[in-house]
A and B are shown apart, each in its own frame.
Chain A
Amino acid sequence: MPINYYIFLSLTLFCIGIVGVLTRRNAIIIFMCIELMLNAVNLLLVAFSKMHHLQQMALHPSAGIDGQLFVFFIMVVAAAEVSVGLAIIVMLYRNVHSVDVNFLNRLKH
């Protein structure tokens, strides 16, 4: 598969995530759109690692393996981020009884 197909697919998913963050008001859906953007980046990293592996296969048999390990670490960080973020959203809901992000500006008062 040509690499630019993967580039354009990942860009499309990433921009759909951006549109979701900009247009929705529910904090949970904004959070889900951030996960979508992380997954688009992961897909592009894997595609680039396979591209690099195909180029360097003769010289270095393990070329491109770093990209896949970075994807693994991104998944680890995303799991930690989700646990803390959902705890913050639950706490927010308990205090203001809403997950509307327009209520978040009341935190400063």
Chain B
Amino acid sequence: MSVTQILFWFLSVLAVISAINVVISKNAVFSVIWLIITFFSISGHYILLNAQFLAVVNIIVYAGAIMVLFLFVIMLMNLGKEVEPQKNKWLRLAGVIAGGCMLLVLVSALKDAETANQIAQVKEGDIGLINRLGVALFNDYVVPFEISSVLFLSAMVGAIVIGKKD
């Protein structure tokens, strides 16, 4: 096994284990911590695929901004101490079975797909570098980029209006 394969399997196992821990941990603060570990391992996958810009943006936006926002809200509500009411045991079992069936159906459908033996380029190729992405973003995608700034403005106004005490 080469170093790339070892890194791939390590990051994959880390991502799956921490994602399972997000779902099963009782305390909401621990869920946030495990989700941050998941995001870091997905960023590691991006670095492995040489998508360096997305790796950095993933760490800054998700693991930085969004998770801090989640942690802030959880601590504001003081949810860490009290025990969350659990769903009925049979309902939880039905949820797990439904998700497992979905995984089974999708895996068996995509197992023999035409693309199954193609290769994703790892640790080379320059399309993930900020130079190429920036050129494409400000030439071909400049209108969606401007529209996303309007989206951010409206989201900010919406969050303030909803969160305002009246």
- By a CB distance below 8 angstroms, the chain B residues around A8 are 107, 110
From DSSP, what is the main secondary structure of chain B's interface residues?
A: helix
Contact yes or no, A87 B16, CB < 8 A: no
Given contacts A64-B127, A69-B133, A84-B158, contact A18 B42 (CB under 8 A): no
Task: Determine which of A4, A36, A64 lies in contact with B111 in the assembled complex, contact meaning CB atoms within 8 Å.
Answer: A4
B81 at the interface (CB under 8 A from A): no
**Bound complex: CA A48 to CA B121 (Å):** 9
Closest partner residue, chain A, to B94 (CB atom): A22
Q: Is the interface of A mostly helix, strand, loop or mixed?
A: helix
How many whole Å from B61's CB to the nearest CB in chain A? 5
B13: nearest chain-A partner, CB-CB: A9
Residues of B within 8 A of A78 (CB): 61-62, 66
Q: Nearest-CB distance from A85 to chain B (Å)?
A: 9
Known: A5-B12, A6-B120, A39-B58. 20 other contacts (CB 8 A): A1-B8, A4-B115, A4-B116, A7-B110, A9-B16, A15-B102, A15-B106, A16-B99, A22-B98, A23-B91, A23-B95, A28-B70, A48-B120, A50-B122, A54-B121, A72-B53, A80-B151, A84-B162, A86-B69, A90-B73
Q: Which of B76, B94, B100, B133 contacts A15 (CB 8 A)?
A: B100
Q: Determine whether the beta carbon of A75 is less than 8 Å from that of B136.
A: no
> Residues on B close to A: CB < 8 A?
4-5, 8, 12, 15-16, 19-20, 22-23, 28, 31-32, 35, 38-39, 42, 45-46, 49-51, 53-54, 57-58, 61-62, 65-66, 69-70, 73-74, 76-77, 79, 84-87, 91-92, 94-96, 98-100, 102-103, 106-107, 110-111, 113, 115-122, 125, 127-128, 132-133, 136-137, 141, 144, 148, 151-152, 154-156, 158-160, 162-163, 165
In the complex, the chain B residue whose C-beta lies closest to that of A102 is B85
Task: List residues of chain B with CB within 8 A of the CB of A80.
Answer: 151-152, 154-155
Judge if A59 is at the interface, Cβ distance under 8 Å: no
Measured between alpha carbons, how far is A54 from B28 in the docked complex, in Å?
A: 41
B110 touches A11 (CB 8 A): yes
User: Which residues of A are found within 8 Å of B155, using beta-carbon distances?
Assistant: 79-81, 83-84
